[in-house]
Amino acid sequence: MHDLPQQNAEIARRFPDLHPPFASQAAVIEANRCLNCFDAPCTAACPTHIDVPRFIKKIASGNLRGSALSILDANVLAASCSRVCPVQVLCEGACVMHRYNKQPIAIGRLQRYSMDAFHSSHGTLPRKSLEEHPQRIACLGAGPASLAAAAELRQRGYQVTVFDKRPQPGGLNTYGVAEYKLPLPDSLREIKLIEDLGVKFRFGVEIGRDIALEDIGQQFDYIFLGVGLGEMHKLDIPGGDHPAVIDALEFIANYKTGRTTGVQGDVVVIGAGNTAIDAANASTRLGAKRVTILYRRTQAHISAFDFEYEHAKDEGVAFHWLTQPVAVNSSNGKLTSIECTRMDIANDGTLHPVANSNFRVDCDIVIPAIGQSPLVEFLSKLSNVRIEKGRVLVDRATGQTSNPKYFAGGDCINGGREVVDAVADGKRAGIAIAKALEAAHA
Ligand code: SF4
C-alpha cells in the first residue's frame, strides 16, 4: 500500500461521524456501567466472539493497549467492525441491561475507543509464532474475509499473498460503506497493520486475466476464496441502461474515492436494503434536492435494519411502497423520470401489478440497489469446488471446500452478510489451514 490518504475535507464536512467517538472520561464512565457478566451474552452474540467484558474492564482500569489486544485477538478488523457492525442486533442487542430497562452498554463505541487509542499510539499486531514457515497461501480478494485469513496465517509465520483486482484493499469496507460510518482512510489504516505483519498484496490483478488460476494452484499450498459477490443486478427495464442510471455500490465507491463530489436534482433509489439506504442518505448529503426510495413491497418486507430505515427518514428520504419501476424515461438524452406501476400483495404473498396504475416520479438520477449477483462464471472455473445456488459450499467448522486445497469465507459462501461474519469466516479458515499445514509438516 502507498501512503495512507487523508479524508477529503469536503467529504468530511458532508459526512460527519454518525456516532462520534467517546471522550476519555465518558468512555471510563460507560465502561464502569458494565456488569462483567459471566457467560456474557454480548460475547456469544458476536460472530467473532470478542471477550466483551474483558476488554471493557481493561478500559475501566486504564489499560487501553491490553483492551485493544484482547479485541484484536478475536477480530483483526475490530476498528471497522466497531463502526459498521449492526450492534443493535448483535452484542448490544444481547446486553443484559435490556432486562433491567436500561440502555445497553455502548459496546461498539467502547470498542472504537480502544481501537482508536491503539492506532493513535502506533500499535502493531502481535505474532502468534516467531517461526517462519515456507508454505505459501494465496487469498483471492482483499475484502474482510481474506484479510482475516491472511492475518491469522501470517501471525503464525506462513507466507501469504492477497490478490485483488481493485487498486486498494478492504473490499466493501473501503469502497462500499457509508462514509459517516467508516471513512475510506480509516479502513486502509487498519489494513496497513496486516501489511506490516508481512502479508504481501498484489493489486490490480484479476484472476484468469492477469494470472491463471492454474498458476496460483501450482505456486501456493492453499487457496482461500474471499472473492465476495459479483456486480449489482442491472435495472432490466426499458431505459435501464441510461448513463444517469448508476448502481448503488458504484455510486458509493465514486463519492468515497472523490470521483463524485456532489449530486444535483432529484434522485430515485430502487430497493430497500441497507445499501439502498446508504446510497439514499449519501445522495441527500451530496446535495440532492429530493431523494425517494421505491420499493415493490411494503415497509414490513424491507431487508434494511429498522434503525437504518429510521435514519433514512431522519435524513429526509421519502419512501414509496408497493411501487415497481417499469421504464426509465429521458428526453434529448437527459433522464427525466421513472415510470412506475402500483403493486398489490395477494393473500398468498404474491405480488401483482394493479391495472392502469402507472405513474411517473420525476428524477435526474436513478440508483438501483437490487442486490449483487454471485460470481457464477469465476466460481465455475474452480476445479472440484462444489457450488450451490451461486455459493461456495464449505464445511462450517473449517471453511474447507469440497476441494481440500481450497477454503472459502465471507459473502461468496453466505450470499452477503455482515463484515463481522466475513471476519469470523476468514479467521476460522486461517486457523484450519494452519492446522492442516502443521499436521502435514509435523
Ligand atoms: Fe457488560 Fe452488557 Fe456484556 Fe453484561 S451483557 S458483560 S453488562 S456489555
Torsion of CA 8, 416, 427, 401, to 10 degrees: -140
pLDDT, mean over the chain: 95
The CA distance from 8 to 256, in Å, is 9
Domain ends where: 324, 340, 368?
368
Which percentage of the chain shows pLDDT scores above 70?
Answer: 99
Q: What is the 40 CA–ligand 1 centroid distance (Å)?
A: 6
User: What does the pLDDT read at residue 393?
Assistant: 97
Q: How far apart are CA 220 and CA 110, in angstroms?
A: 39
Residue 441 reports pLDDT greater than 60:
yes
Residue 363 and residue 279 in one domain? yes
Which of 1-10, 93-102, 329-338, 383-392 is the least confident region? 1-10
Q: CA nearest 245: which of 257, 258, 236?
A: 236
CA of 173 to the centre of ligand 1 (A): 27
Whether 114 is in a domain gets the answer yes
How far away, in angstroms, is 370 Cα from ligand 1 center? Answer: 37
Atom 5 in ligand 1: residue holding the nearest Cα: 95
Give the rounded percent of residues in the chain with a pLDDT score beyond 90. 90
Same domain for 293 and 226: no
What are the backbone angles phi and psi of residue 184, rounded to the nearest 5°? -55, -45
Backbone angles phi, psi at 199, to 5 degrees: -70, 135
Q: Does 141 have pLDDT greater than 60? A: yes
Nearest to 321 by CA among 342, 349, 347: 342
Position 128 in a domain:
no
- In terms of C-beta density within 10 A (0-12 exposed, 13-18 middle, 19 or more buried), how is residue 122 classed? exposed
Q: Report the pLDDT averaged over residues 315-337.
A: 97
Q: Range of 38's domain? A: 9-120
- Output the CA 109–ligand 1 centroid distance in Å: 14
Residue 45, ligand 1, Cβ within 6 A:
no
Do 286 and 332 lie in one domain? The reply is yes
- Inside any domain, residue 264: yes
Closest CA to 359 of 329, 316, 393: 329
Q: Which helix (H) or strand (E) holds 78?
A: helix 78-84
267 shares its domain with 358: yes
Give the distance (Å) from ligand 1 centre to CA of residue 29: 14
- Do 408 and 303 belong to one domain? no
- CA dihedral for 51, 54, 60, 61, sign (positive or negative): negative
Tell how far CA 81 is from the center of its chain: 9
Out of 307, 339, 368, pick the residue that ends a domain: 368
The CA-CA-CA angle for residues 12, 115, 186, to 5°, reads: 30
Q: Is 105 in the pocket of ligand 1 (CB under 6 A)?
A: yes
Closest approach atom of ligand 1 to CA 43: 3
Domain contains 193 = no
Ligand 1 mean position, distance from CA 87 (Å) = 13
Residues 201, 347: Cα–Cα separation, whole Å: 53
DSSP-assigned letter for residue 126: P
Question: Which of the four pLDDT bands, split at 50, 70 and 90, describes residue 3?
Answer: low
* Through-space distance between the first and last CA atoms of the chain, rounded to whole angstroms: 35
Helices (H) and strands (E) in the chain, counts: 18, 15
Total tally of structural domains belonging to the chain: 3
User: d(Cα 165, Cα 141) in Å, to the nearest integer?
Assistant: 8
The predicted-structure confidence for 186-213, as pLDDT tens digits, reads as follows 999 999 999 999 999 999 999 988 999 9
Q: Ligand 1 center to residue 301 CA distance, Å?
A: 31
**pLDDT at site 1:** 62
**CB contact at 8 A, 242 and 384:** no
In this structure, the answer to whether residues 383 and 409 fall within a common structural domain is yes
142 and 253 fall within a common domain: no
CATH number for the domain including 13? Answer: 1.10.1060.10
* pLDDT tens per residue, range 25-69: 999 999 999 999 999 999 999 999 999 999 999 999 999 999 999
Cβ of 41 below 6 Å from ligand 1? yes
Give the pLDDT band (50/70/90) at residue 391.
very high
4 found inside a domain: no
* Residues 346, 379 within the same domain: no
Closest residue CA from atom 4 of ligand 1: 37
Domain endpoint, select from 368, 393, 416: 368
DSSP assignment letter at 23: P
31/33 Cα distance (integer angstroms): 5
- Residue 20 maps to a domain: yes
Return all residues near 46 (Cβ < 8 A) that are at least 6 apart.
52, 74, 75, 90, 91, 420
Examine the pLDDT at 338 and tell me if it is beyond 80: yes
Per the domain annotation, does 97 fall within a domain?
A: yes
219 and 302 within one domain: no
In this structure, are 349 and 364 located in the same domain?
yes
Which of 36, 37, 50, 55 most suits a substitution to test ligand 1, by most atoms within 8 Å of the C-beta? 37
| Residues β-bridged to residue 164 | 203
Predicted pLDDT at 20: 86
| Residue 308's CATH number | 3.50.50.60
Residue 4, pLDDT above cutoff 80: no
Cβ(33) to ligand 1 under 6 A?
Answer: no
172 part of a folded domain: no
Answer whether 149's CB lies under 8 Å from 155's CB. Answer: no
Ligand 1 in reach of 42 Cβ (< 6 A)? yes
Q: Are residues 386 and 407 in the same domain?
A: yes
Give the model confidence (pLDDT) of 116-129 as tens digits.
999 999 999 999 99
CB of 78 shorter than 6 A to ligand 1:
no
Q: How far apart are CA 106 and CA 348, in angstroms?
A: 41
Is 0.75 topped by the overall pTM?
yes
Do 416 and 433 lie in one domain? The reply is: yes
Task: Give tens-digit pLDDT for 171-189.
Answer: 999 999 999 999 999 999 9
